[in-house]
């Protein structure tokens, strides 16, 4: 999960994923993320792992508004549960999320990341 954490921290500072939370979640859960040199950062993760990762990096909780959620209606004290509910609401397993991810990938490649495939 350290590679995925590094990935999230780097893209957060670049603001590339602003407005693309659903696509980002889809990529982190179901795709392989590598650096251009071939170093694998993540081969995908479970919803629970992703929720914990968002909690660890202190991802902006207001970003759930992109998913049509009101942050005040999510679990206020348990950040892992907060993000788990947001991931569930994002419908990351649907074709809309996959299509959104495909449009985000070129932006991530400009930052030196290679996103490919889907989790087996």
pLDDT tens-place string over residues 49-80: 999 999 999 999 999 999 999 999 999 889 99
What is the mean pLDDT of the segment spanning 86-90? Answer: 95
By residue range, what is the domain housing residue 12? 2-116
Q: Write down the pLDDT at residue 120.
A: 36
Q: How far apart are CA 10 and CA 2, in angstroms?
A: 12
Q: Write down the pLDDT at residue 108.
A: 95
Is the pLDDT confidence value at 118 over 70?
A: no
Is the pLDDT confidence value at 119 over 50?
A: no
What is the mean pLDDT of the segment spanning 9-19? Answer: 87
The whole-chain average pLDDT of the chain stands at 92
Q: Using a cut of 0.85, tell me whether the model's pTM lies above it.
A: yes
Number of folded domains that form the chain: 1
| pLDDT per position as a tens digit, 21-51 | 999 999 999 999 999 999 999 999 999 999 9
Q: How far apart are CA 94 and CA 91, in angstroms?
A: 6
**Radius of gyration, CA atoms only, the chain:** 13
The widest CA-to-CA distance across the chain, in whole angstroms, is: 42
| C-alpha 16: how far from chain center | 12
């Amino acid at each position: 999960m350290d590679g995925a954490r590094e990935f999230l921290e780097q893209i957060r500072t670049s603001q590339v994923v602003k407005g693309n939370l659903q696509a980002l979640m889809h990529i982190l859960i179901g795709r392989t993320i590598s650096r251009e040199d071939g170093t694998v950062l993540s081969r995908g993760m479970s919803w629970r792992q992703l929720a914990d990762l968002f909690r660890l990096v202190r991802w902006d909780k207001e970003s759930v508004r992109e998913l049509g959620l009101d942050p005040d209606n999510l679990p206020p004290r348990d950040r892992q549960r907060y993000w788990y509910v947001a991931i569930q609401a994002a419908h990351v397993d649907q074709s809309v999320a996959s299509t959104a991810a495909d449009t985000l990938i070129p932006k991530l490649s400009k930052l030196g990341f290679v996103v490919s495939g889907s989790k087996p």
